[in-house]
Homo-oligomer: A and B are copies of this chain.
Amino acid sequence: MASETRPSASRRERPAKPALTREGIVKTAVELMRTEGLERTTMRRLAQELDTGAASLYVYVRNTAELHAAMLDELLGTVDLSPSRGRGDWRNGLAQILTSYTEVLFEHPSLARSALVARPSGPCYLALVEALLSLLSEGAVPADRAAWGVDLLLQFATTNAAEHGTREQASTAQEEEEVLAVALRDVSSEDYPHIAAIGADLLSGPGRDRFAWGFDVLINGVLHTPRPDKGQSRRVAEQARGH
């Protein structure tokens, strides 16, 4: 049955076994994650996809954590940073970039989780930070607050993606959310008066609204909160720079 289009006995349509490269490994890993999820993107499974043994991967990648970091930076390359060049509406630009960032991670919550632990430092991550800083400076946010604020914004967006997000894991998550909803509804108004009074509003609203509100809270907070330790911190920073 159309056997002349099948060039070899190997799986899929890969015609010949391509030479291993770090980049090829990482790209295959991202593709595998897209189709089967991070859970199934194991060294062994990935090696199988590349028609080799798991041990071969260790020539190019130190361990699983490093692989995940490289995959994350690859993924961050798809974040839309173009709003950082639109003059005028810095606040909206920030929201757009963070929304794009969230959307990218939303499809891979487990990778978002690993981003919380292993701080990325690849080129795409740096470009993202640069874009956020440029918009904050356009908004006249003092540089010292912007330095720490970027972290807060990215932490917020990353956590959001790690918490919610799609994939099969969502079924379990939704189940747990229902357990929590029931627990909140059945709460004794004697033991937990405030919870009982607020009730369902603790969980209400679509994620989009909560994200938008949380983003505004952060921006407004940064605008209203000077860094208290300016003198000391500047000294520390200058020491780190070698002054």
Interface residues of A (CB under 8 A from B): 65, 69, 109, 113, 116-121, 126-127, 129-130, 133-134, 137, 143-144, 146-152, 155-156, 158-159, 162-163, 169, 172-173, 176-177, 179-181, 183-184, 187, 191-195, 197-205, 209-210, 212-214, 216-222, 224-225, 227-229, 233-234, 236-237, 240-241
Q: Which residues of chain B have C-beta atoms less than 8 A from A176's C-beta?
A: 69, 118-119, 121
Using A126-B183, A163-B117 as known contacts, say yes or no to A221 and B216 having CB atoms under 8 A apart: yes
Nearest-CB residue, chain B, relative to A122: B183
Decide if B143 touches A201 in the complex (CB within 8 Å).
yes
For the complex formed, measure the closest distance between the CB of A224 and the CB atoms of chain B, giving whole angstroms: 4
CA distance A147 to B194 in the complex (A): 10
Q: What number of copies of this chain does the assembly contain?
A: 2
For the complex formed, measure the closest distance between the CB of A214 and the CB atoms of chain B, giving whole angstroms: 6
Q: Which residues of chain B have C-beta atoms less than 8 A from A162's C-beta?
A: 116-117
Nearest-CB residue, chain B, relative to A202: B147
Decide if A201 touches B144 in the complex (CB within 8 Å).
yes
Decide if A194 touches B225 in the complex (CB within 8 Å).
no
CA distance A96 to B192 in the complex (A): 20
Decide if B172 touches A65 in the complex (CB within 8 Å).
yes
Decide if B163 touches A213 in the complex (CB within 8 Å).
no
CA distance A233 to B213 in the complex (A): 13
Q: A117-B163, A155-B156 are in contact. List 6 more A-B contacts (CB 8 A).
A: A118-B172, A133-B198, A148-B210, A204-B236, A213-B227, A221-B221
Nearest-CB residue, chain B, relative to A172: B65
For the complex formed, measure the closest distance between the CB of A104 and the CB atoms of chain B, giving whole angstroms: 18
Decide if B126 touches A195 in the complex (CB within 8 Å).
yes
Partner pick for A201 among B65, B147, B203, CB 8 A cutoff = B147
22 examples of A-B residue contacts, CB within 8 angstroms: A65-B172, A69-B176, A118-B173, A119-B163, A121-B179, A121-B180, A126-B187, A126-B192, A130-B192, A130-B194, A130-B195, A134-B193, A143-B197, A151-B210, A199-B237, A204-B237, A205-B229, A213-B225, A217-B221, A218-B218, A220-B221, A224-B224
Q: Which residues of chain B have C-beta atoms less than 8 A from A205's C-beta?
A: 148, 229, 233, 236
Nearest-CB residue, chain B, relative to A235: B204
For the complex formed, measure the closest distance between the CB of A193 and the CB atoms of chain B, giving whole angstroms: 8
Nearest-CB residue, chain B, relative to A224: B220
Decide if B113 touches A204 in the complex (CB within 8 Å).
no
